Amino acid sequence: MLRDPLSAERAARDGVTGIRDVADIVFSAETVDRALLDGLGEAFARPYAIVNVSGLIGGQVDQAAEYVRIIRHLVERGLAVVVLPHVSRPDADDLEACEEVVRRLDGTPVRFVRTLGTPASIRGLAAEASVVVTGRMHLAIMSIWSGRPAITLATQGKVEGLMRLLGTPSLCVEPEAGFADRVVRVIDEVLPEDAPVRASIAAALPRVRELAAENLAGLGGRPGDARTDDALDAAVA
């Protein structure tokens, strides 16, 4: 059971048999919690963007400088910005990576969420965002789950496969020096409500959710069951 066409192609080249196409199981989740969004307060401005800085990528490139440019561009486009860590562990800490970017912003206004939300609360926050920029694939999935475009820095080939499945290759950006230039261009492309990328996501989501449900075939649970959704959230927390 392989969650994107790129993974399936690699497995086939390696001689794997019995390949079954599915999608990432997180697309099967159905719960939403507004706790993170409500925690920003009634006065929090809209429209807004979510920006995640991944602790996985900092060793490859000076991503803080790139993210400063991205955030300033979002603010210039009239969006409030929520800086959101997604994973915090000693070897790949988004919280530290996000803090470094916020320190370098030199007064550019952002809302920095310094705690890790539950998957359901992240879905609730992402559901109303105009755009998401992230280095974490599962944050991208939780955003795309609501039809929100998620510009995602590529790691280990999995992001490329996800975006091919959705028909949105422009949302996959290589984390190399100067990547802010590409991200800024894609932000401008996807912000309009009639952007082709948004239409591609909307068209792909029904089939992607069907493929994700195949992960649970024969297990006695289905998306929407309380215990099933709890298990999905635990898997990506």
**Mind giving me the DSSP string for 152-176?**
EE--TTHHHHHHHHHT-GGGEE--S
Single pTM value for the model:
0.88
Give pLDDT, residue 237.
44
Of 69, 29, 28, nearest to 210 by C-alpha is 28
d(CA 229, CA 132): 23
Give pLDDT, residue 103.
93
Of 135, 39, 143, nearest to 93 by C-alpha is 135
Q: What is the pLDDT of residues 197-214, one digit of tens each?
A: 999 999 999 999 999 998
Work out the mean pLDDT of the chain and round it to a whole number.
88
Residues of the chain under the 50 pLDDT cut:
226, 228, 237
69: tokens are 């440019």
